[in-house]
Structures are given as C-alpha cells and as structure tokens.
Structure 1
Amino acid sequence: MFRKLLAATVLAGVLVMSGCASVPMASKSADTQAKQFTPVTDKATVYIYRNEVFGSAIKMPLLIDNMSVGDTASKTYVVKQLPPGSHTITSKTEKDSSVTIDMVAGQLYYVWQEVKMGMFAAGSALHVVDEKKGRAGVQESTLIE
C-alpha cells in the first residue's frame, strides 16, 4: 500500500513539473549569439533571465519602459539593446515588481526575475545582479523571441 501511495505521489509530481508554461522561443543560433555577451558600442544591453524551475507553469510578462518585451517562462531569458539613459523594467505579476537602471552605452546589465509566492497568483521580484551571477543565470536559460 505504501509503495502504491509513493508511486502515485511521484507520478503526480512529475506531471505537475511537466506542465510548464510555453512561450515563443528564439532559434538556437540566436541563443548562441546572445550568449557571446558582446556589447554594442552605441547601445546598452540588458539580459533579463528567469532561471528557476519554481513557478514553471506560469508565464510572466515583462515590460521595458512600459512596452511589452514578451513573457518569460521557467529557464528563459530576454536580451534587449537600449539607448543609453534611464530605463525601467517591470515584471507583471500579482504585485508588479520594477527596477530602474541608468544604462551606459557599451555596457551589459543583468536582471534576475525571481519567482515568488503570491496570495492569489504568482509574484515576482526583479534584482540587478553582477556580471558573474548574471552570465551564469543566462547560460542555464534559453532565449525567447
């Protein structure tokens, strides 16, 4: 009886984990190119990544300066080149989370989109992280369109 209960629990866990959110993915070559981390001389480059499995069934919309840049899913990232200056990145969840970064041309920036528990739906928090942590998070994620 215990084995059947254990097997059913494991199966339910596998089914829950396989119910991941689906978002449009970029080509493998675009992902490989983005992971070269090559700065653009007249633009700032920002990588926004979500490298957790937690909340894998949830898509999280991202905005830069109130313009949609796509939805993230588990183990995905977005990369955007922006003009120098102040830019606000927002994660739209139960309670929006935003960070504002004063970006410099030729520099790379990394923002981690952390999944949080919400009261009624998933939440998130955005964290500006250093290059080492950011690159590692992007490397374990896949580029979305």
Structure 2
Amino acid sequence: MLRRQVLIAFASIATLTACMGGQEAGTVMQTGSTFEAPSGKALVVFYRPAAFAGAAIRFNVQHTDGPVGQLTSGAVIQKVVNPGENTFWAQAISQDSITIQAQAGQTYYIRGDVRMGIYAGRPQFTQVSETTALQDMSR
C-alpha cells in the first residue's frame, strides 16, 4: 500500500514538473504597461487575472506562427500579428481556441481563464473590451 502511494506521488510530481516549463517565445508585459499596435500590424494581448483558484494551472498559448507564451495566474502576454485571420489555442487536458479577424493598428484583448474539469483545469479564452481588460489587469 505504501509503495503504491509513493508511486502515485512520484507520478504526480513528475507530471506537474513537466507542465511547468519555462517561458516561451512571447513578450511578457508588466501590469500597467501600455498596449499599442505597431504600424501595419495588430496587437493581441492575453491576460489572466490573478486568482488563488486554479493558480497552479499553466497553459501555453499557441499561434499558427508558433508559441506565444505561458499564461499563468496574473500573467500578461502580447503578440504582434499580421492583419487578417489569426487563430490562437491552448491545451491542458482539453483545448480551447479563439480566432480574431485582426485589423492593422488595432489592439485586441483576450482573457484567459481556467475552468475546472473532471481531472484538471482547462483553458478558456474570451475576447473582452479594452476597458474590461485594463480593469481586470489593475486588480
């Protein structure tokens, strides 16, 4: 019985360690930063409000061009994209995605939340207004 508990504990630690990889190719911003799209491009800002519930869950945001970054509790990540259709996704046990029709000079805000599932938390993306995003990020 003790051996089984030790094996379960070891497997859990190994799984959590594997999920806690380093920051990927995104730009992590400090709260209070200004967000402005460069000329001829669009800017997508991902943020996740700081919360105790689900704080241990991390997920990597992906784009068709490659990784954006790891969205953790309280994180803010930005990605400069070309105008047109841009799809982003993240996967823990289940996957969520969001597609934006980006226009040059525009900034888009995507709130990332963790929804609790049967086995683990799962990502959920919601596009929000600038006002809502800035209020969420200031808390």
TM-score normalized with structure 2 length: 0.73
Q: Using the TM superposition, give the Cα deviation of residue 39 of structure 1 relative to its aligned residue in structure 2, in angstroms.
A: 2.5
Shift of residue 135, structure 1, vs aligned partner = 2.1
Alignment: residue pair count:
118
Which residues in structure 2 correspond to 1:27-38 (within 5 Å)?
31=30, 35-38=33-36
- Alignment partners' CA distance in 1, 2:107 and 2:117: 31
SS at match of 1:31: coil
Aligned ranges 1:12-31 → 2 under 5 Å? 24=23, 31=30
Give 1:133 shift: 0.8
The structure-2 alpha-carbon separation of the partners of 1:24 and 1:67, relative to structure 1 and needing over 3 Å to count, comes to closer
Percent identity over the alignment?
Answer: 26
User: Structure 2: where are the runs of 5+ without partners?
Assistant: 1-19
Structure 1 residue 64 displacement after superposition: 1.3
- In structure 2, relative to structure 1, the CA distance for the partners of 1:27 and 1:102 (3 Å cut) is closer
Within 5 A, what are the aligned runs for 1:21-100?
Answer: 24=23, 31=30, 35-53=33-51, 54-65=53-64, 67-100=66-99
1:120 aligns with 2:107: no
Runs of 4+ in 1 over 3 A off after TM superposition: 21-28
Residue 139 to residue 80, structure 1, CA distance change in 2 (3 Å): farther
For 1:113 and 1:63, the matched residues in 2 are separated by: 13
Q: 1:70 to 1:37 in 2, by over 3 A?
A: closer
The answer for unaligned runs of 5 or more in structure 1 is 1-20, 141-145
85-94 or 98-107, which moves further after superposition? 85-94
